[in-house]
Amino acid sequence: MAVIHHTTLKPTKLELLTDWLPSRPWYRGGPDAPVLTKSGGFRLDDPEGEVGIEFMVATDTSTPEPTAYLVPLTYRGAPLEGAERGLVGTLEHGVLGKRWVYDGCHDPVLVAELLSLMEGRVRAQAQSIDGAPDPEVIRSYSGAPFAPGGYGPEPADDKEGTRLPAPHGTVLHVHRVLTRVPEDPQNPPLRPEGAIGHVARGWQDPQGTPLAAVFVTLRTD
């Protein structure tokens, strides 16, 4: 189980993302720097207890219509070999010291745990509370069992988001710009048509309005 330290971060996560987001092909903001707020998300546990894993929703309010981005992040105590393209930046953690922050789509630990979540072998954890499962995360999977471990992602970004090769010839689609779907506790976001798996969750806009979206889908193309 990951331990969440409520301590100082220099720079903060949102400060790192303010510089990094405009470099992404799926960024929808204008020429000015984004103005970001943390709007929600969840965590996953690394079985080895070494890597912090977070799926953050960051909302940019710099444009007339706010845009919510899904930013999977990993936090490591040393550089991840071969993942230089995925480095968001480094920060100083008040307890753990220097941490390397990666776009989690480049980190095999995050990808493996995301597949385990989709398959139902692990549970999503609350974003800010130690040891608390997150019951708001919805997941589904209808394919063959995944073999654990041994996965090395080669993510590809485009204007629609990020795609990663996955087992059994499937492709993970990480929806970086979140498209709102009606939020109804009795009818959680359904698996998108043509997908064999998905992960969805709600979050709040800067005014506190509850929203929900599909975060990730798994497809055969």
Q: What is the pLDDT of residues 43-83, one digit of tens each?
A: 999 999 999 999 999 999 998 889 999 999 999 999 999 99
Asked if 102 and 82 count as a contact pair (C-beta separation under 8 A), the reply is no
94: tokens are 């008040």
**Per-chain mean pLDDT for the chain:** 88
Q: How many CB atoms lie within 10 A of CB 150?
A: 8
Asked if 133 and 126 count as a contact pair (C-beta separation under 8 A), the reply is yes
What Cα–Cα distance (Å) separates residue 105 from each residue in 33, 154, 172, 189, 193?
23, 8, 10, 23, 23
Distance CA 87, CA 212 (A): 28
Upstream peptide bond of 11 is cis (omega within 30 degrees of 0): yes
Asked if 116 and 147 count as a contact pair (C-beta separation under 8 A), the reply is no
How far the first Cα of the chain sits from its last, in Å, is: 34
Q: Is 147's pLDDT higher than 60?
A: yes
- The whole-model pTM stands at 0.91
Q: Is 36's pLDDT higher than 90?
A: yes
Q: Is 125's pLDDT higher than 60?
A: yes
Residues in the chain: 221
Burial call 85-105: b when 16+ CB within 10 Å, e when fewer: ebbbeebebeeeeebbbbbbb
